[in-house]
Structure 1
Amino acid sequence: MEILLEEFYKTDINLEKFHDRKIFIGEKSYQINGITKSGKSILVKNYLLSLKKNSYLYIDCSDIRIQTDKLNSSLTSFCNKNRIDVLVLDNYIPSIKFVNVSQLIITSEIHYKFDMLKTLQLFPLDYEEFLAYEHKYDSSALNHFFQLGGFPIMHKIYSDERNIYLQKTLKYSLQEMEFDILCFCAKMMSQKVSAFTIYERLKHIRKISKDKLYKSFDTLHKKNYIHLLEKANHPKATKKVYLCDISLKSALSLDKHFGRLFENMIYLELLKSGVESFYEDGIDFYLPSNDEIILGMPFADERTLFKKMEAIEAFIFSYGIKKVTAVTMNREGSVNHPFSKVEMLPFDIWVLGD
């Protein structure tokens, strides 16, 4: 194992042009959580390149040459001998023991409870981060975002290979049951779905254990491959399911419902902004802290929005809603309403406006 550690230590880190993310690594010790291909390794490597070469040790724990017991017995002495200040355990596995260094960084899909590590949650690119990859920002940028989604690697994959690349990547990263559930969730994007519903559907096409399915569904949620949205003031009601990235819809499903894709995209932006949201029947997103409703209406006009306002007026009055925003593809406008400020905003303006 000493020979392998020496190889890790001497190997130069190579990184193409780095695009800044909305989270960054400082001097503390961290665990960086995120789904596969969200950019965890690139973020860490960019940080390491700012340090002196002999001050850090980078270990990718998925390397099949690593024997955990031998690594645990030799890592401390190796770090002491080479005066390692920063140790990175990329794709960390719990059987690897920590050593005493100035800064420890681990990356993982799963969040572990380590009091000594500050948690950084890395999602796929949001729209603002995506724009950093564009050669120029014009009206085509949003359409490009729909095509590629938020995985940084997709900018390097040919268009005819993207779906197969995502399928292979997800199959490698997930258990078989998890992958099957994710495929089902791709069909049900932006709709109300429960683990029981998935069980009832899948049991007809494969032998399946309810307990295993429930556990796999929970794991997918904890890893943030899927996100679940509660109904306002009804925590036990069936939740709506959203995918971690819009690119998974076309990669895992033949369904082409653009409205649901657009709604999922809005949800991810709300999620990454940290704003608490809920759904209600006929209402995509209710933001109680802002007394606001967000509606995904990609091709709406003032007349369509006016009819929508009539349908949800009871909720607006009951909950004291002060603002209603209909997010569209490119339409901008407003509707007069006695209780709330009602406007239509194109997606890019809504996202970047603040």
Structure 2
Amino acid sequence: MKSLEACYEINFSKINFIERKIKIEDSKTIISGASKTGKSYLIYDFLSEFKAKDYIYIDLLDLRNDINEISQNLAKFIKMNEISVLVVENYNFQFELPSCENTIISMLKSEKIKGFKNLIIGALDFEEYLLHDSKHQNITQSFNSFLKFGNLPELINIEEYKKIQRLQEIIYLQCKDETQYEIFKILIENIDEKKSLFQLFNTLKLKIKISKDKFYEICKQYENNKSIYFLQKYNQEKATKKIYSYNHSFFNAISHTKKFKNEFSNLVFLELINKFDDIYYLDSIDFYIPSKNIAIVPVPFFNTFLTGNLVKRIIKNAQELNINEVNIISISNNEKISDSKLKINVIPFYEWALS
């Protein structure tokens, strides 16, 4: 039982964990989410509440672990050592889990198991990022780093010259082979764009050999594990969806092309999905929240004179749906736009994200 004995010796009592807005609260929990969003650290925090002798931590992707040995002996080992907490990371139904008082499972894709609560974890929102960021002196420096290198916890403390390389490595972690990488890459290249999967497939098949069914299947996998989001147009289910990634900075890691507006819009979208379930887009409005009757429009470098026509289109679109409030999210501008029927605010991202 070498693998089980080694796993049983792992001790998480000295892990330095910074609180997240989400935590494990149920004795039977499945944690899922995209790569490097912090699933493991959420587990470490949970385990730190127990004595080391009371839990066993098993990572099925640890090359040292013999899965056959674990599957054959786990139930007996738990009973023999009176273990009350079983953690299995990267579980993929390779074997049936034995009964245990507390069972915590992590996996990329959320799966339904009777008696288990599903917990989906995303990357850091800006408020969480500030709590994790001890390197920068002020909110402006933190925001600049957040904007440039994204929202993944481990990126904060890596030297800046290594960050792009690590982002590229994390992108590859999403992909089992070169085909999956090319699919993930084309999705990232089209963040904040209205592109159908059929359009993307036709573009990609000129580059690699791939079937339509395979392309759609992989896209669905990325959607299921929250690596990619497809945003629907309000009241138009068949309209082309907009594409977003779980880390807005991935585009910067795969291309020398600059799409700052797209990346900034992706960043704003990720703040919204942590707060609302009902997010849609409209013709001139990036994000519409029906439950709050609010429109959100990212305009990084807002200028009243240069964006006058855009504001007119936003107002027209908002009035058609009787929207009460429009928040224009910018990098640093802060002002109010006068309108007889609408409340229109121009707000810096960091102020809006923390409000």
TM-score (norm 1): 0.95
How far is the alpha carbon of 1:169 from its aligned partner?
A: 2.9
Cα separation, 1, equivalents of 2:190 and 2:266? 11
2:38 aligned partner: 39
How far is the alpha carbon of 1:103 from its aligned partner?
A: 0.6
User: Could you say if the C-alpha distance between residues 313 and 155 of structure 1 is closer, same or farther in structure 2, counting changes exceeding 3 Å?
Assistant: closer
2:129 aligned partner: 130
Q: Name stretches of at least 5 consecutive residues in structure 1 with no aligned partner.
A: none
Q: Name stretches of at least 5 consecutive residues in structure 2 with no aligned partner.
A: none
Cα separation, 1, equivalents of 2:122 and 2:218? 20
Letter paired with 1:151: L
List aligned pairs for 1:12-27, cutoff 5 A: 12-13=11-12, 16-27=15-26
More moved, 247-256 vs 64-73? 64-73
1:206 aligned partner: 208
How far is the alpha carbon of 1:28 from its aligned partner?
A: 2.2
What value does the CA root-mean-square deviation take over the aligned residues? 1.6
More moved, 258-267 vs 91-100? 91-100
What is the identity percentage for the equivalent residue pairs of Structure 1 and Structure 2? 29
2:148 aligned partner: 147
Instruction: Deviation per CA, 1:271-320: give whole Å up to 9, x if none.
Output: 11134111111211111111111110111133355432322333222211
Instruction: Deviation per CA, 1:322-344: give whole Å up to 9, x if none.
Output: 00110111111111112111111
1:64 aligned partner: 63
List aligned pairs for 1:81-160, cutoff 5 A: 81-135=80-134, 136-160=137-161
TM-score (norm 2): 0.94
SS state of the match for residue 156, structure 2?
Answer: helix
Structure 1 residue runs of 4+, over 6 Å off? Answer: none
List aligned pairs for 1:256-267, cutoff 5 A: 256-267=258-269
SS state of the match for residue 315, structure 1?
Answer: helix
Cα separation, 1, equivalents of 2:156 and 2:317? 42
Quick check: 1:326–1:345 contact (8 Å CA) kept in 2?
A: yes
1:320 aligned partner: 322
1:350 aligned partner: 352
Cα separation, 2, equivalents of 1:12 and 1:69? 24
Cα separation, 1, equivalents of 2:252 and 2:307? 28
1:53 aligned partner: 52
1:284 aligned partner: 286
User: Could you say if the C-alpha distance between residues 28 and 288 of structure 1 is closer, same or farther in structure 2, counting changes exceeding 3 Å?
Assistant: same
How far is the alpha carbon of 1:64 from its aligned partner?
A: 2.6
Quick check: 2:328–2:346 contact (8 Å CA) kept in 1?
A: yes
More moved, 309-318 vs 265-274? 309-318
Quick check: 1:330–1:346 contact (8 Å CA) kept in 2?
A: yes
Letter paired with 1:106: I
Cα separation, 2, equivalents of 1:297 and 1:170? 27
Cα separation, 1, equivalents of 2:143 and 2:130? 9
Cα separation, 2, equivalents of 1:314 and 1:336? 14
User: Could you say if the C-alpha distance between residues 110 and 15 of structure 1 is closer, same or farther in structure 2, counting changes exceeding 3 Å?
Assistant: farther
Quick check: 1:341 aligned with 2:343?
yes
How many residues matched? 352
Quick check: 1:30–1:106 contact (8 Å CA) kept in 2?
A: yes
1:184 aligned partner: 186
